[in-house]
Structure 1
């Protein structure tokens, strides 16, 4: 398999793909072990939840700035340096846990640094891919990367992270440090590629950021996709902010049942990576994107009305398929139509809308459920997505020619 991919997309893509797989395992391990570590120090729910928030916060604070630097700097070297930086931060956390000197403040600091590094490395990764993969291979490359993320991060890493934490609390973080170091070494072996065309002679950071925002806003299709998914994330996260309570009180599931229901997203995502290219070829980009918006409406409406766990699981699998297919198509489209020197900044605007929408939705969901009940966020999400679908329907016609 490795040789086949190398022949089709080149050895450089194989190195990048392998680096992604290795670091995704490490990320998933820390994603599980982090909350467990905080919970072993404090029982305060706010402090436990804060560990997740501090790692997301840099996306809200720095995503646009990171995008500008991704377009200024050598992207390959930036990925290498950031991965080494994250390896050092995790090694420090490993030492603190191993010596029993770790505190919540130390964990928060390391997780904030990891999140900051993520804004740079993830943005650079997406902008770097078109430099080593031919345009007609981008869909296949993004599909493989998405499948790797699902398998490594969602399936393999989570039980591994919990198992390592039980063996030794420091072990998961040490493993993650090692995965970042290995990923850095793999990316460092990729051949040197030309710097972004407009990168070397910039003046002010604010002007660079504004240029990226203006370019995105001036492209009708990408603007529609970005705003649609930003608003969709508000709706989605408002509904799923209370998902754990919804599964208990509405579906009657235990905590184990809740865990299995969460896996349906990953199952759908894995299926989505195998059918994305085929669906796009068979039905066309416009039809697939429009169908995705309809699936969002149906998903929220179904969850608002059902009390049957199997039906909920089925619709979540379908939603997972849609999410992965939509992601592969949109990322590939962006990599093809955005000028190389603007890829980092345009991607950073997407990230800001995605995570900004997610954060706002999570805050709204809890308030709505508290006031009007657990199904209210799902009903509101269904109505909101119906409006978004109607508004985006016509502009999505342009997706076929993008």
Structure 2
């Protein structure tokens, strides 16, 4: 047993409750991966408007991640996760009911695949934007709480194993099981995937509620009673900014995520118009990332031990950029599937190493705030990338064909990702990572 009473040789029952909750909610997210883009593409074909959906989905990370960190440190993290998933359940149910009322006038997947002329439905498009934005705010609270809750139920020595297994099953549910299920439900009726998605959030919230509340330290209680939230936020920001490894790591990840959303913002149009995918093919396209993520999650800790944490992160930058660039030349979805598998393998490898590092070196009473500041930099760049992706398509479309315009975001993101590798590599060495982990750097 560890000093705080957590077993050192197993993950424990509370971990598996979180594991189950994450699995079921990610199954719903996987359904949404198909349902929301297809709904957006059914109400508008404008690349900027499609990209704007991705912008508002990630905008809460820019606007809300910093105050969310203070909230995470002030209140019980388990309770916050339950509330966040309950909110997401209500919002998704609202979307389902609205789509149910309008599905008689929405174009079917076959109509979209046949190239039907689709005018922008202002009401439905506005509903998608509002729901996506509000879901994003709830996601910020949930994700920050979940990451900072893990050290309370898993021993420090098991964090990489716990995170790796959690992300593996998340990949299975999110991009292997969820999208094909979403495609099947979409064929039944446009509203059905949203009803099922809402149900997954309800079940997830119930499972998290079964985890016993963790005791708060006296230091955390003092923070709640005596410190203004601005002071607490500044403390978390200062801790991260003064850290010689986490500061550049957050900035590098922010640039990497910006490039990822630049290429992915108009993916649904690329898949429909260039790759000519139907809903089930689009669903299978996402499963490539799932397979790569599963393998990456289960093997991440072994790979990091074998080749070192630094080279593991280098590979993410280098191969992520190369696969993105190659997708720009794709003629069929099977090739893109393979590229997604390689990309996600290394993306999960990055996540397992860096999140486990943060969980092990940031003091618990600061973990919520520092983690939120980190994600402010790391995820706050995503809405900017999404906007740039839509703008890239529109500008290219002005002087080139639609086919080239939809490919251009992958070329731009791929080249810039490789360039980022040369900037990042000297800052993310194994020696610096291990020094931070042991407290000697």
Query: TM-score, with normalisation over the residues of structure 1?
Result: 0.85
Distance 1:248 1:183 in 2: 32
Q: CA deviation at 1:353?
A: 2.1
Which residue is 2:290 aligned to?
266
Equivalent pair of 1:147/1:270 in contact (CA under 8 Å)? yes
Equivalent pair of 1:239/1:381 in contact (CA under 8 Å)? no
Q: Which has the higher helix share?
A: 1
Which residue is 2:71 aligned to?
69
Equivalent pair of 1:304/1:378 in contact (CA under 8 Å)? no
Matches within 5 A, 1:42-191: 46-100=48-102, 103-191=124-212
1:294-323 deviation per Cα after TM superposition (whole angstroms, max 9, x unaligned): 434544566678999887765543332111
Which residue is 2:363 aligned to?
339
Matches within 5 A, 1:252-263: 253-255=275-277, 262-263=286-287
Which residue is 1:400 aligned to?
434
Which residue is 2:380 aligned to?
356
Deviates more, 1:349-358 or 1:332-341: 349-358
Are positions 1:230 and 2:254 aligned together?
yes
Instruction: Specify which of 209, 229, 238 is matched with residue 205 of structure 1.
Output: 229
Cα RMSD, aligned residues only: 3.4
Which residue is 1:381 aligned to?
416
1:4-55 deviation per Cα after TM superposition (whole angstroms, max 9, x unaligned): x9x9211111111100011111122223222333445556555554444333
Q: CA, structure 1 residues 168+253, in 2 after alignment: closer, same or farther (shift >3 Å)?
A: closer
Deviates more, 1:372-381 or 1:269-278: 372-381
Which residue is 1:289 aligned to?
313
Q: CA deviation at 1:327?
A: 0.5
Structure 2: runs of 5 or more not aligned: 1-6, 104-122
Q: CA, structure 1 residues 168+194, in 2 after alignment: closer, same or farther (shift >3 Å)?
A: same
1:243-299 deviation per Cα after TM superposition (whole angstroms, max 9, x unaligned): 6788899xx854368776554333221221121121122223233223433434544
Q: CA deviation at 1:159?
A: 1.8
Deviates more, 1:200-209 or 1:124-133: 200-209
Equivalent pair of 2:321/2:415 in contact (CA under 8 Å)? no
Q: CA, structure 1 residues 377+282, in 2 after alignment: closer, same or farther (shift >3 Å)?
A: same
Q: CA, structure 1 residues 316+392, in 2 after alignment: closer, same or farther (shift >3 Å)?
A: farther
Distance 1:308 1:41 in 2: 25
1:84-121 deviation per Cα after TM superposition (whole angstroms, max 9, x unaligned): 22222223333333445984434433332211111111
Q: CA deviation at 1:180?
A: 1.4
Q: CA, structure 1 residues 247+189, in 2 after alignment: closer, same or farther (shift >3 Å)?
A: closer
Deviates more, 1:366-375 or 1:195-204: 366-375
Instruction: Specify which of 346, 349, 354 is matched with residue 325 of structure 1.
Output: 349
Equivalent pair of 2:164/2:298 in contact (CA under 8 Å)? yes
User: Secondary structure of the equivalent of 2:39?
Assistant: helix
Number of positions where the alignment pairs a residue of Structure 1 with one of Structure 2: 395
Which residue is 2:25 aligned to?
23
